[in-house]
Amino acid sequence: MSKILFFGGKGGVGKTSCSSAFAYARASEGHKVLLISTDPAHSVSDLFERKIGSDIVQLKPNLYATEINPEEESEKYFSKIRSSIRKVYSVVIIEEINKQLDAAKLSPGTNESALFDRMVEIINETSEDYDFIVFDTAPTGHTLRLLTLPQLLSSWVDVLLSKRRKTMQYKEMLTGDRTLVKNDEIIEILMKRKKNLTKAREILIDSGKLGFVFVLNAEKLAIDETIKATRTLKDNNIPIAAYVVNRLLPEEVTSDFWTHKKQDEAKYLAFIEREFKGTTIYKIPLLSTDMKEAQIEEIARSFMDE
Amino acid sequence: MGFLNNIKLFFEGALDFNSRATSKLELAYEEEMEEFMILAFSDIIGIDMPTTYYALEMYPYLYSEIGAWQKMSVNRKSVWEDKFSKMDMDP
């Protein structure tokens, strides 16, 4: 099975529970696992009933976790930019640039971009250290964007690099200064970004370590979305590692209401098994209690007998 | 032929009184620069791109160049006029 797994699915199907239980299962088998939450609600902290935060912490033997906080990450990025301004300009100009940065901070794409940057950073830094990296992510569309971004960004960086190089070469010819290309900060910044993106792409896409896990419930809307998203992932050449059908009703139901529900569920489950034939399908029972650490252990068992 | 051509090029360069070579270089420089700016900082002229965030780290180093580019974009009355005025129409 692939090494870097993204758990995705429609909102509310139980992504956090399933990804945590999956990570727990692999960890108890003796693999070293890193569980990363990108969910702004940070349900992993709630689930394990302890504050996790943006540093990697150990939850159990072999099980590590971290939560990405996009606001914190973008703040880090902006303060890095601010410190590089101080090296270059006078106070008046700094004021002007800060205004521009503050405006950018409010732009709708900022948090997502910061999240993506941090994900790339974690993948680049830790992929050697863990047997499994499990991302508990936000709803499907968001994840798709995150996974297709390296492609888009690398070509953007490539074009910028070639344009900047040409610009500086012309400037060298015009001024006679032969050190411009070599000492250009912009080229340096772009090269660094290119290096990170290339590395992330190699790890994620070329090495075949990436896999997507769909969490869904045995009901119409969740199935519809999963089918659509499966198609999009296949179009983008992202392999699907498994499907997890969560919250299955118990076998013995008594009242008419639940019998009816159970019949519907069986129908949808059969449909799921037909539709996604050939891929691992995990079936997770509905629990009578809230998800806490003890319940994760219970669910983890469903991920163990493959 | 190559030798003759080189001599021709030499005199063309040496007797370039209107400094056409330099202005051609300047033109090429400006064009590359402008394309870079549009690709990196299009949000400044109102075109939002998914790459906006990633370009920000270059902003401090390009501050004055961005200012000049912005002024140029605002003052330009017509794209065509701008392009034609830069062309060398002499034979």
**CATH code at A33?**
3.40.50.300
Q: Is residue A253 part of a domain?
A: yes
Q: Is residue A62 part of a domain?
A: yes
Residue with tokens 């003796």: A30
> Which of A170, A195, A196, A197 is the best residue to mutate to test the B interface, defined by the most B CB atoms within 10 Å of its own CB?
A170
Q: Around B90, how many Cα atoms within 13 Å sit in the side-chain half-sphere?
A: 5
Q: Which residues of chain A neighbour B39 with C-beta distances below 8 Å?
A: 156, 159-160, 163
A137 contacts A6 by C-beta, under 8 angstroms: yes
Report whether pLDDT(A2) > 60. no
pLDDT, tens digit (0-9, with 9 covering 90-100), for A52-79: 988 999 999 999 999 999 889 999 999 9
Closest chain A CA to residue B21 = A174
Which H/E stretch holds residue A214?
strand A210-217
Which H/E stretch holds residue A269?
helix A256-275
For chain A, percent of residues with pLDDT exceeding 90: 53
> How confident is the model over A166-185, as a mean pLDDT?
92
* Residue A254 pLDDT: 84
Q: Is residue A182 part of a domain?
A: no
Q: Do A152 and B22 touch (CB under 8 A)?
A: no
Domain boundaries, chain B: 26-86
Token couple for A34: 């890193």
Q: Is residue A166 part of a domain?
A: no
Token couple for A293: 């650490």
Among the partner residues A80, A96, A185, nearest to B61 by beta-carbon distance: A185
Distance CA A281, CA A279 (A): 6
Distance CA A221, CA A11 (A): 11
Q: Do B39 and A156 touch (CB under 8 A)?
A: yes
Which residue segment(s) compose the domain that A57 sits in? 4-73+107-145+210-304
* Residue A59 pLDDT: 93
Q: Is residue A86 part of a domain?
A: no
Q: Is residue A203 part of a domain?
A: no
Lowest mean pLDDT among A39-43, A210-214, B26-30: A39-43
- Categorize the per-residue pLDDT at A1 as very low, low, confident or very high, splitting at 50, 70 and 90: very low
Q: Is residue A229 part of a domain?
A: yes
Closest by CA to A300, choosing from A62, A3, A57, is: A62
What is the number of domains present in chain A? Answer: 1
Report whether pLDDT(A10) > 70. yes
* Residue B1 pLDDT: 66
A75 contacts A67 by C-beta, under 8 angstroms: no
> How confident is the model over B51-70, as a mean pLDDT?
88
Q: Is A156 on the interface with B (CB under 8 A)?
A: yes
Q: Three-state DSSP class for A245?
A: strand
Q: What is the CA radius of gyration of chain B?
A: 18
Report whether pLDDT(B79) > 80. no
pLDDT, tens digit (0-9, with 9 covering 90-100), for A68-109: 998 899 999 999 988 888 777 777 788 888 888 888 888 878
Distance CA B56, CA A80 (A): 11
Q: Is A287 on the interface with B (CB under 8 A)?
A: no
